[in-house]
Structure 1
Amino acid sequence: MTDRAPKLLVDALDAISAAQAFLADTSLDQYLADKMRRSAVERQLEILGEACSRLAKLEPGLPNQLSNLKLAIGLRNRIIHGYDAVDDEIVYQTVMEDLPLLKTELGGLLNDRASG
């Protein structure tokens, strides 16, 4: 792992944690009605996707090892380049359903690299 990779892993994990915190105890309807919360979650997903994209460039094998890494990168691209076609329900579901596994895997990777 390169010297930059641990920082990128921390950035990705922090972004997931922040997005999850922003949605804690928030229903889909509350999320849809709250533009500020949607913007905050989307910003964290941009950070997550960018960190994952940089990790994938540093270590090309990672996208095949980590669940939902490609999803995080693709969602970042959708938010940034296709902002007018972002489906808020998909964003909500992604944070609630897809990111917990990626968070666990990224955390394990960081721990493995730190202890190895």
Structure 2
Amino acid sequence: MSKRDWKLFLIDIMESIQKIENYIGKMSHKEFLEDSKTRDAVVRNLEIIGEAVVKIPLDVRQKYTSIPWSQIIGLRNRLIHGYFVIDYDIVWNIVKNELPELKRKFQEVLGDH
């Protein structure tokens, strides 16, 4: 089996961010909390982002220090291993307040390579 080019994981990240943006749309916080399908879809794509980040080579992660790599991986671990106690208010905050900036930073990495 051939090793997958790490840049494809950046594309996976960007696709997951786009999906999250599409799922949330103009949804309010209350609507998000009441919509289990959207919550599940958002969480799944945050997990995918975390999985993809693990596959980015360490030297690349060290070059782009403005990206909180370890926090993204930590979020993935909490989502996967603590799924009975997910705090959807925190998920909402990440999606609405942190994801747009992360998207810009990942676009920068992708553009550089």
| TM category, shorter | 0.7 to 0.9
Alignment of 1:1-116 (within 5 A): 4-55=5-56, 58-60=57-59, 62=61, 65-113=65-113
Distance (Å, rounded) in 2 between the aligned partners of 1:99 and 1:66: 13
Quote the offset at 1:60 in angstroms.
Answer: 4.3
Quote the offset at 1:61 in angstroms.
Answer: 5.2
| Deviations 1:9-59 (CA, angstroms, capped at 9, x unpaired) | 00011111111211110111000001001000011001001001111xx22
Instruction: Name stretches of at least 5 consecutive residues in structure 1 with no aligned partner.
Output: none
Distance (Å, rounded) in 1 between the aligned partners of 2:41 and 2:71: 19
User: TM-score, normalised on structure 2?
Assistant: 0.88
User: TM-score, normalised on structure 1?
Assistant: 0.86
Which shows bigger deviation, 2-11 or 86-95?
2-11
**CA RMSD after TM alignment:** 1.8
Distance (Å, rounded) in 2 between the aligned partners of 1:20 and 1:70: 22
Instruction: Name stretches of at least 5 consecutive residues in structure 2 with no aligned partner.
Output: none
The number of residues matched between the two structures is 110
How many percent of aligned residue pairs carry the same amino acid? Answer: 33
